[in-house]
Amino acid sequence: MATVHEERVPAWFWVVAVLAVLWEAMGCYAYMSQVTMSASQIAALPQAQQDLMAHVPIWATAAFAIATWGGLLGAIGLLLRRSWARTLFMASLAAVLVQWTWWLLIARAADVMGLSAYVMPVCVIVIGALLVWFSGFAARRGLLR
């Protein structure tokens, strides 16, 4: 009887993969929360934030969708140990850059929200770049198929 060789995947890989899924799921939740806001929820925002919400172009919303759902699929790809995870993380990061370009440079959200408008974009971009790097690192180590 032939023995089956099991690949040894380090525990740190699984920790990062699970954290990636949780992070990306939170992004999907944020996306769904934004695109399903009711008129009364929008009306409860300060007027300047209402104005920002009213002027979000469809391409920025589409970039948000690609960033979040593409990132979640990439994280699931990590859990499945698939090499296509990196491609999805790269697409997600590109979409994040498009989304935040509108938010910070075109809409000038910092004028409305102050410096706090930069906190989430910086976190999302840094984590997105780290996930692209990590998936490439995992592929080079033979952890992704």
User: Using one digit for the tens of pLDDT, what is the confidence trace for 40-83?
Assistant: 999 999 998 898 888 899 999 999 999 999 999 999 999 999 99
C-alpha–C-alpha distance, residues 1 and 88, integer Å: 40
Tally of CA atoms within 13 A in the half-sphere of 79 that contains its CB: 12
For residue 101, the 8-state DSSP code is I
User: Using one digit for the tens of pLDDT, what is the confidence trace for 71-109?
Assistant: 999 999 999 999 999 999 999 999 999 999 998 889 888
Angle ∠(114,100,41) on CA atoms, nearest 5: 65
pLDDT value at residue 107: 87
Task: Give the residue among 66, 102, 76, 97 at the shortest CA–CA distance from 21.
Answer: 76
Q: Decide if 31 contacts 65 (C-beta within 8 A).
A: yes
Residue spans of the domains in the chain: they are 45-140
Q: Give the orientation angle of helix 119-140 with respect to helix 11-35, to 10 degrees.
A: 140
Tell if the pTM clears 0.85, that is, is over it: yes
Angle ∠(122,85,68) on CA atoms, nearest 5: 45
For residue 117, the 8-state DSSP code is G
C-alpha–C-alpha distance, residues 56 and 98, integer Å: 13
Cα 98 to chain center, whole Å?
Answer: 12
